[in-house]
Amino acid sequence: MQQYTLRDVRCREDDARLVFQWRNDPVTREGSFHTGKREWTEFWPGFCDSFPEAGSPLPQFVLCDGNPVAFLRFDPPRPGAGHDELVEVSINVAPEARGRGIGVSALHLAEDYLKRFGHDAILALVKADNAVSRHVFEKAGYEATGEVGITPAGEQVPTLAIQYIRRLGSGPGAPG
Ligand SMILES: CC(C)(COP(=O)(O)OP(=O)(O)OC[C@H]1O[C@@H](n2cnc3c(N)ncnc32)[C@H](O)[C@@H]1OP(=O)(O)O)[C@@H](O)C(=O)NCCC(=O)NCCS
């Protein structure tokens, strides 16, 4: 079975370029709450500013044979989503690497990583029409706990999202 590992995303242009490239992929944009195309000139200056403070989970690349194949980001839950005590995970698998089981593996690695910071549960908000992502979160042991409307900055109309919670340390697929 293929082995995947994590490495910290660094505040460096080459890492930012990869995250930027994957972020602007059309399928990624379709699956995101902010569907607009990002411009490098505004993405790069904000890239390092968005890094969390010391002691918080850093964004991660999932590596396969040393090469990045997916990106994970961890944030405080967005306003209005509730569950202030949880950490919110976002995932983006490299466009050329999708459909190979990396998504599920990456979410299991994220669990191991977050446990080191004392988190005992993870939140994910998935667009209701993102069938692949919903399937992957459910397969990774996340439980759908409700629906929530997410209104991205600059937009008026909320997007329907499914709220998923993964309690760590129990259930199928839980890290040992
Ligand atoms: C969603 C995403 C993270 C999934 O990662 P992945 O590595 O491609 O997913 P996997 O290969 O682990 O699994 C794909 C699963 O979806 C299933 N699937 C494919 N098309 C599907 C569909 N239309 N409806 C439901 N399930 C579908 C596959 O059968 C597979 O399940 P299986 O292993 O049980 O057969 C990845 O496709 C991605 O980065 N998409 C763009 C960004 C995005 O949407 N991120 C999530 C935001 S919440």
Atom of ligand 1 nearest to the CA of 70: 39
175 falls within a domain: no
Question: Token pair for residue 143?
Answer: 């439980």
Around ligand 1, the residues with Cβ closer than 6 Å are: 27-28, 31, 91-93, 98-104, 126, 130-133, 135-136, 139
pLDDT tens for 146-168 read 999 999 888 889 999 999 999 98
100 falls within a domain: yes
141 falls within a domain: yes
- Kindly state the average pLDDT of the residues 25-30: 97
In the chain the first and final C-alpha atoms are separated, in Å, by 18
Atom of ligand 1 nearest to the CA of 99: 11
pLDDT tens for 41-93 read 999 999 999 898 888 999 999 999 999 999 999 997 665 555 657 899 999 99
The H or E element that residue 6 is part of is strand 5-8
Under the phi-then-psi rule, with left for phi > 0, alpha for psi from -120 to 50, and beta for the rest, what region is 52?
beta
CATH of the domain at 103: 3.40.630.30
Question: Token pair for residue 1?
Answer: 């079975």
Which of 155, 108, 112 is CA-nearest to residue 136? 108
Cα–ligand 1 centroid distance for 149 (angstroms): 22
Q: Containing domain of residue 46, as a range?
A: 5-167
Domain count, the chain: 1
Cα–ligand 1 centroid distance for 53 (angstroms): 31
Atom of ligand 1 nearest to the CA of 92: 39
Phi, psi of 93 (to 5 degrees): -90, 140
140 falls within a domain: yes
Cα-based angle 119, 65, 104 (whole degrees, multiple of 5): 40
145 falls within a domain: yes
Cα–ligand 1 centroid distance for 83 (angstroms): 25
